[in-house]
Structure 1
Amino acid sequence: MQYQKIGHTDIEISRIILGCGSFGGIGSAPEFFGQGENEEQSHEILDAAVRLGITTFDTADAYGGGRSETYIGNWLRKCDKIVRNNIVLSSKTYNPMFIGDSKGLSRERISEKIDGTLKRLGIKQLDMYLSHEMDVQITLEETLSCFNDLQINGKISAYGASNISCEQLEKSISICDNLNLHRYEWIQNSMSLLNYREAERILQICSKYGLGFTPYSPLAGGWLTGKYQRDVNYEPGSRMTLRPEPYENYVQHQNSIFDGLNSMKKISKERFGDISIAGLSLAWLLSDCRITGIVIGPRKPEHLKPIEEALNIHLNETDRIDLANLFPVL
């Protein structure tokens, strides 16, 4: 495993971050609360991740309606002190935790939700806290000041933002400088071989200000694993059957994507000993030194295998360019 400090902090994370969005649900969607992995299955994935050297877990208060945080907290209580002390926890807030719950990033709501997160995880201080989405109904000044106060008061060690635009990030940095607030220390947006061009702009800003970057969906919802085939129905229980909306753009360009995947298999066999498409896709991200860590959301312990492949190969700049050029501009 590889490890790296994030932003300007002393927080050292594993470059593979375990995404826990399927623990007790399917992401933040209330209609799927209680589905996904149950607590026993979630603990098996956590155990397997730790054996691989993963120390950093990514969750959110709305994942499974609080179940994800609860499962992680219960798992931590079973661990010995050495394991617990090595774990870095990251959680997020914005989305409703139950039908009828509020959403957003007001000072009042964040202050309430962080207490619930700490209680469910069984900790006094959260290592990393993110806004899950940006709240256009609340001023950035209010949100940033609240996160800053949580850090000063010791409830969180550092904070960041997920699903933020370049304009919002630049404005947030300016506000923090003007008000003498702690800045975001890292950004967590979607990035993979299928949608890296938009993320590239954010990466450039992060590099400029020394911020970390921890992309999620590095396998594009399964499109970069080979699980979806041309002219074959989607596998029951897959993201494309449960929650296809985020991937509609891939469906529209599926022929070009499938052509790219076939070419990717040839490159893998010729240059890297025929490792999996998923492993090569992860290695492509890890080979970018600007990326602090990538968030992987396995549904089973065996889904961690591509991580081992990715950590054991090296991509040069020619490899990176050749792989990127296989797919359409999305």
Structure 2
Amino acid sequence: MTTYRTLGRTGVKVSPLTLGAMNFGARGNPDHEDGIEIIHRALDAGINVIDTADVYAQGESEQIVGRALAGGRRDEVFLATKFHGRMGDNPHHEGNSRRWIVKAVENSLRRLNTDHIDLYQAHRPDESADFEETIGALTDLVRQGKIRYFGTSVHSPAQIVEGQWTAERRGFLRPVSEQIPYSLLIRSNEREVLPLAQKYGLGVLTYGPLAAGWLSGRYRAGARQPESYRKDWIPDRYDIAAPHNADKLAAAEALATLAEEAGLPLVHLSVAFALNHPAVSSVIIGPRTREHLDTYLGALDVRLTAALLDRIDEIVPPGHVFHLRDTGALPPSVSVSAQRRRHSSASSS
């Protein structure tokens, strides 16, 4: 029997695992019927949260989820989706402006074949949009009945606090959740985001418990480079031969060895670790196949001892991250040179 958790202070009961739908559609598993079957198997196993986004396969993921929930299964699910990323070629069809939010939600409602979204999330911050405008628009959508709650994803600690402060100052509803990467290899959010979530009573949905494949068991010292679209897409983060990935590979190897010594699959150790943090409401899993789903489900029976957690801390210290980009999208203060360099208007002679 599934033991449910509460999403922050909303009172909503959520399963420890959330079914992430990013891999449904052209980007992952293009077989719609297969995706629908995976969703049904997850619901039958007690998962009651599905997380998707409009940008996943440009709406295809939402369509698959909508088809899977047709026929009476919608009420079983706390349905979450996200807005922000570019949809198509129209420059107006992206971001966190009121103009786009009110259009994006209608598009998602149509694709999901539902009259409301339970949790509508800003997929990333938008430096060009006033946070007050974003929260105001989302508050209006709650009052119109189109969404029940709203939250953020990969926002900085300062932005999370700003969201709470803006809502209080302007009399808006407040964001109730934050979605972040969190795993054995990506622990930076233990520094501020997870404590902030506890302080403000925010629900936390974490993604990437396998660190985008690094904890799948395929990244081992001395092994060949695993086949993955990520190596070609983001080579600096996934090339095991790159010198700056040496420490990460060594940690993955040590964690795989630790899992073997504990008699656990590395996948189970990884998911159980993310579930163990007291601020985490639910861990998002992203299976592409039914076999992947069954493997993830096995982690629910794992309980980590204090001694095992201490061993993990010795391999990857609390708060540590190996690659800055593993924390999510970098803010402009880091990624945009004009925001961190004082340029002279005249060349030196």
Q: Does the alignment pair 1:98 with 2:98?
A: no
Give the 5 Å matches for 1:103-122.
103-122=94-113
Residue range with higher mean Cα deviation, 1-10 or 220-229: 1-10
Q: Does the alignment pair 1:193 with 2:184?
A: yes
Partner of 1:220: 211
Specify the SS of the correspondent of 2:120: strand
Matched residues, number: 316
Q: 1:8 deviation in Å?
A: 2.1
Kindly report the root-mean-square deviation, in angstroms, between the aligned alpha carbons of the 2 structures.
Answer: 2.1
Q: Aligned in 2, Cα 1:91/1:302: closer, same or farther, shift over 3 Å?
A: same
Determine if contact 1:222/1:239 at 8 Å carries over to the other structure. no
Q: Aligned in 2, Cα 1:125/1:289: closer, same or farther, shift over 3 Å?
A: same
- 1:230-255 per-residue CA deviation (whole Å, 9 max, x = no partner) reads 4544444x243453368359855433
Residue type of the partner of 1:24? G
Give the 5 Å matches for 1:40-189.
40-77=33-70, 79=71, 81=72, 83-101=73-91, 102-189=93-180
Q: Does the alignment pair 1:302 with 2:295?
A: no
Determine if contact 2:251/2:315 at 8 Å carries over to the other structure. yes
Residue type of the partner of 2:12? I
Q: 1:268 deviation in Å?
A: 2.6
Partner of 2:4: 3
Determine if contact 1:256/1:327 at 8 Å carries over to the other structure. no
Q: Distance in 2 between matches of 1:165 and 1:55?
A: 28
Determine if contact 1:189/1:199 at 8 Å carries over to the other structure. no
Q: Aligned in 2, Cα 1:202/1:305: closer, same or farther, shift over 3 Å?
A: same
Q: Distance in 2 between matches of 1:243 and 1:16?
A: 28
Residue type of the partner of 2:51? D
Q: Distance in 2 between matches of 1:327 and 1:263?
A: 10
Q: Distance in 2 between matches of 1:37 and 1:144?
A: 34
- 1:216-271 per-residue CA deviation (whole Å, 9 max, x = no partner) reads 111110101112234544444x2434533683598554333333333334433443
Q: Distance in 2 between matches of 1:130 and 1:204?
A: 20
Q: Distance in 1 between matches of 2:23 and 2:232?
A: 12
Long gaps (5+) in structure 1: 27-34
Determine if contact 2:84/2:94 at 8 Å carries over to the other structure. yes
Q: 1:302 deviation in Å?
A: 0.6
Q: Distance in 2 between matches of 1:209 and 1:192?
A: 22
Pick the structure with greater CA Rg.
2
Residue type of the partner of 2:254? S
Q: 1:324 aligns with which of 295, 301, 313?
A: 313
Q: Distance in 2 between matches of 1:146 and 1:270?
A: 51
Partner of 2:266: 277
Q: Distance in 2 between matches of 1:20 and 1:309?
A: 19
Q: 1:240 aligns with which of 230, 242, 247?
A: 230
Q: Distance in 2 between matches of 1:144 and 1:16?
A: 27
Partner of 2:340: none
